[in-house]
Structure 1
Amino acid sequence: MDRTPIRIRGKKKVPARTTGARQSTKSMLSSDPKAKRPWSDTSGSSTPAAKLPCQAAPKLQRTKCSSRLELLPTELLETIFFYCVNISLPQASPAIGHKLASTLVKSRLVLGTLSGLDSIDYSIIPWSITSRELGDAQSAILRQKWMTLPFLKRLIPDFIVKTIVQEFGLRKLQWMGEGPVVSQESEPIIRKYLEDNALRFDHTSRTGLPAFWEVSWTVEGYPDGMLMGIGLRDGLVTFSSFGDHREDSETYWDFIETRRILSNPLSRGCQIPEKLLHGPWTDEKCEFLEIAIRGNAQVDWVASTSGEVAEKGLMQAIEEHNARATRALLARIGSGPQPCDSTITLFPREPTPNADGQWVSEPHSIYREDPIRRGVGIIPQQKHLRKAVLEEGCPRDVVEALLEAAETNFDFDDGDILQWITGEMGQGNKDAEWLREYVSPD
């Protein structure tokens, strides 16, 4: 009895190949360079196969149509970019972006728009730009991936040198009281001085804060003396001039000027980038956020999602037990001058005699705006306090940062929090005892 063949659906029937065809295919696909391709049958043609004309498919000519702007030389394109300060120009095409991607262009862009150097020789801000346009340009620069804290810190020596040249040049002063008036030609001398004294100017105190070193010399004529403070670690430069009436031992101060990189030059329209408003919270991100806040950068709570990102960032800061990020995100004291966590000794006060009859100068400290005290502006709610206490075990520095915000919305009669305090105090938890004294001192 013959068997009924079964046909499988979807499987195509492959025709049988001849031995010659199999050998031909094997030869063409073979990776062996010695394999020879068999001759084809040319019995129907009087012309040998080697003499047949080759009719290859025509190649399509694909040429890129570049605009006239893309064809400009790099030097001319940089001049146009610095004239208009349009951050969208490098993003217009890969060709333009490649020509404007040098470190020199980025450095000049940051120093010209974000550092407050308003000298004609250093500033790249055109006279026709408005405050709103400047704020948009600054916001776009801060959003760039290459705009990081290490990149900014590499610009600190350049910022200090150019700041000194700008301030000394405006006042027609000499460097160290000798030589010609300070100008752009003086930059190598000042830079060499900073390099030779880098260990003094790049110093950290025992509290972990950057130390502030002074340089002083006498200038002939007015002003009588110049005192300058330099901080290579945080990019702070302070100038003060003084005169000394030796007859009555009275010292007067003519001016005090403070310059800090990314400090107070940012337009009121400059926005804090979202990359600085969320975790994971590292020391680098916290420091960069504080620098942006110090420079008057703000969060657009209405026309952007930055506020929501900052809210999530506060929750992440509490989860990570990061008090520094918590302080930076909260609504702090305000934008007015506040005492800093550590005062900066700039110059001596009026000298006074001690018991031995020697004249001793009392250290005089100035107060500058504390970046941590200002903050992004989030008002802590009950959910933040409950998360820090009930879920995270009440890390004291984080809870203290929440409680010391300029404005809060807490309910200290929360039964869960009071129950947690009572239970933890029974187990000898010092943080629970501290929290009870804080929320209910009676």
Structure 2
Amino acid sequence: MELTPIRVRGRRKRRAATKTKSLDEKENGESKAVALRRPKGGRPMMSFADKAASQSQAVARSHMPKKTSSAKRRRKLSRLECLPVELIEKIFLYSLDVDLPRSSPALAAALSRERMYRVFILLSFWNDVPVENDAAQPAIARILAPAEYERLDEERRKALQSDVLRCRWCTVQRILGQLPELMNLAIQKYWLGVGITMDVTNQQAFDNFLAKDGDTRIFEGTDSNGNHYTLSVIPLLSITVTCAETQEVNTHRILSVKGFPDGLLRGDDGFSDDDIAYLETLRTGHGFDAPGTDVSFSRDALQQGIHNALVEHNSRALCTLLKIDEYFTRHRLESEGTDPSASSYSIPPEHFHTAVTIAGDDPTIFQLLLRANAESLPADDSAITQWAMDLHSAFGSWLLDFMVQLPEHIDAARANPRTAGLFYMGRANHDIEPGRRYLDEVLGVTELSSWMDETEFDVTSLWETESPDSPS
């Protein structure tokens, strides 16, 4: 019986594998033959001469300047930047644009000079009022050099002063340094420039005063028409010219302030001694013989500064800021509205909460807030009531009684703040019962006058005269 043959498929694969193996062996044999023909030992060694040459080329490549992108290449100076410094200064003084030095480092280097700062301070703070028969122009031109003398109108000067006050270089020291020149400008313009002449005695006293060699500050003279004039000088603050025949009185401020910079009011970096002196210089420089309705400032920035001064427990800065706020805000509100109750001055009651949180047992900063506007005190406040009870002092007892009377007192004070308010411009009202008690029981004085003239930084003291007996 014949068997049917069975085909095994795996045999074909074994034959293919065998064939592949034979091919691999053939290729391996060829590779070994090629390898046998190659030189042994890898890359041939370099000679000493070639190695020295390669090392010298590597050192040379390391010292070659690296390629930079076109954006990092040194910028070519413009035609303006290539001008001589004198011409750049002339352009700067002609434009009066404080942003010009900020446009490039080259211009900043050319214009960041003391004589530029000096001219900008003089032009921005000098109130150059037109006068008839002005003969002071040559003297004024010499003072303002290298700028060419040209009177700035009120709006342009106000804008320039605002720009200058925002500059970092405009420090209180630089402003104080220019007060003598500003006073000289005012005397030249409103006394000598209008044709007033003095006799020998007054002229000698006047010359000694300007040389800081005399204490006389009142001088007399006559004009071409025979009218008699008197010059009264408060050094570095104001000059007053009075005509005897017409009784006309003109006061000219040495520092004509048109605004307060926001950063200085806020005290962004805290209130240093220089910051307080800066604020006091501007505040007292403006004076208190004008309402100041043309003085611009941000009251939001000012209130933030009051809050910061409270947090710092800085009574000096707080006092100055409250004076600025009350004086200029009261006058602004009174000039804008005819209804006193609708335009009454107040401060945020949150300041009183901050004060009791910070004050502890010291009521000084709380009393400063009261002196600014006592009617802004929250009438029924548990935190302030508890704080007053914990004081165990005459002021605490007075404060508790005043808070009880406050609701009915507010209406009268808003209707007539000057006569019915507890304080007005810092002056305590002795005509009302809470005012009398505050003076008698808390302060132990008979009177508390306006605090606007009070200052711890008197610029007049900077005008030091030499004593006749002092050694030369």
**Alpha-carbon shift at residue 125 of structure 1 (Å):** 9.8
Q: From the superposition, tell whether residues 277 and 190 of structure 1 become closer, same or farther in structure 2 (CA, over 3 Å).
A: farther
* Pair 1:152–1:398, CA change in 2 (3 A): same
Change (3 A) 1:282 1:435: farther
- Counterpart of 1:321? 315
Residue 164 (structure 1) aligns with:
187
Whether 2:277 is the aligned partner of 1:310: answer: no
In the alignment, structure 1 residue 42 sits paired with structure 2 residue 22: no
* C-alpha distance in structure 2 between counterparts of 1:223 and 1:431, whole Å: 61
Determine the structure 2 residue equivalent to 1:257. 250
Distance 1:53 1:394 in 2: 76
Change in 2 beyond 3 A, CA 1:273/1:88: same
Match of 1:137 among 149, 155, 160: 160
Q: In 2 relative to 1, CA 91–223 (structure 1 residues): closer, same or farther, beyond 3 Å? A: farther
**Does structure 1 residue 152 correspond to structure 2 residue 175?**
yes
Deviation at 1:158, TM superposition (A): 0.7
Counterparts of 1:391-410 in structure 2, within 5 Å, are 391-393=358-360, 395-405=362-372, 408-410=375-377
Partner SS, residue 257 of structure 1? strand
| Cα displacement (A) at 1:107 | 0.9
Q: Check 1:417–1:411 CA distance in 2 against 1; reply closer, same or farther (3 A cut).
A: same
Q: Report the CA distance shift for 1:165/1:386 in structure 2 as closer, same or farther (over 3 A).
A: same
For residue 147 of structure 1, give the secondary structure of its aligned residue in structure 2: coil
Query: Is there any run of 5+ residues in structure 1 with no aligned partner, and where?
Result: 1-39, 183-188, 201-212, 244-252, 338-376
Distance 2:401 2:54 in 1: 106
CA distance in 2, matches of 1:51, 1:332: 79
**1:103 maps to what in 2?**
114
Equivalent residue in structure 2 for 1:299, among 297, 300, 317: 297
Query: Taking structure 1 as reference, are residues 132 and 49 closer, same or farther at Cα in structure 2, changes over 3 Å only?
Result: same
* Cα shift readout 1:233-272 (whole Å, capped 9, x = no counterpart): x4322222325xxxxxxxxx533222223335x2xxx452
Q: 1:87 to 1:118 in 2, by over 3 A?
A: farther
1:242 aligns with 2:227: no
CA–CA distance in 2 between the matches of 1:394 and 1:144?
41
Residue type at the aligned position of 2:242:
S
TM-aligned CA deviation for residue 166 of structure 1:
1.2
Q: Secondary structure at the match of 1:258?
A: strand
Q: Percent identity?
A: 18
CA distance in 2, matches of 1:53, 1:397: 75
Letter in 1 for 2:233: I
1:336 Cα deviation from its structure 2 partner = 4.7
Match of 2:219 among 216, 221, 237: 216
Q: Measure the CA separation in 2 of the matches of 1:315 and 1:423.
A: 20
CA contact (8 A) 2:124 2:164 kept: no
Cα distance, 1:434 vs structure 2: 4.2
Conserved 8 A contact 1:85-1:137: yes
- Note closer, same or farther for the CA distance 1:157–1:380 as it changes in structure 2 (3 Å cut): same
- Residues 293-314 of structure 1 show CA distances to partners (whole Å, capped at 9, x for unaligned) of 537543236xxx7357435335
Aligned mates of 2:356, 2:363 — CA distance in 1: 9
Residue 432 (str. 1) matches residue 438 (str. 2): no
TM-score normalised to the size of structure 2?
A: 0.56
Equivalent in the alignment of 1:277: 266
Amino acid across the alignment from 1:241: C
**Hey, what's the Cα distance between the residues in 2 that align with 1:94 and 1:328?**
41
* Alpha-carbon spacing, 1:82–1:300, altered in 2? closer, same or farther (3 Å): same
Post-superposition offset of 1:146: 1.9
Q: In structure 2, do the counterparts of structure 1 residues 287 and 240 end up closer, same or farther at CA, with 3 Å as the change threshold?
A: farther
Give yes or no for contact 1:236–1:261 (8 Å, CA) kept in 2.
yes
Measure the CA separation in 2 of the matches of 1:394 and 1:142: 38
Q: Shift in Å at residue 140 of structure 1?
A: 2.0
1:277 & 1:166 partners in 2: Cα distance?
36
Pairs within 5 Å for 1:70-85: 70-85=81-96
After TM superposition, give the deviation of residue 379 of structure 1 in Å.
4.0
Aligned to 1:381: 348
> Of Structure 1 and Structure 2, which has the larger fraction of its residues in helix?
2
Does the 8 A contact of 1:263 with 1:291 survive in 2?
Answer: no
Deviation at 1:98, TM superposition (A): 1.6
Q: CA deviation at 1:110?
A: 0.9
Aligned to 1:288: 278
Q: Which amino acid aligns with 2:296?
A: Q
Structure 1 window deviating more from structure 2 (131-140 vs 45-54): it is 45-54
What amino acid sits opposite 1:146 in the alignment? W
Structure with the largest fraction of strand = 1
SS at match of 1:137: helix
The alignment of Structure 1 onto Structure 2 pairs a total of residues equal to 321
SS of 2:232's equivalent in the other structure is: strand
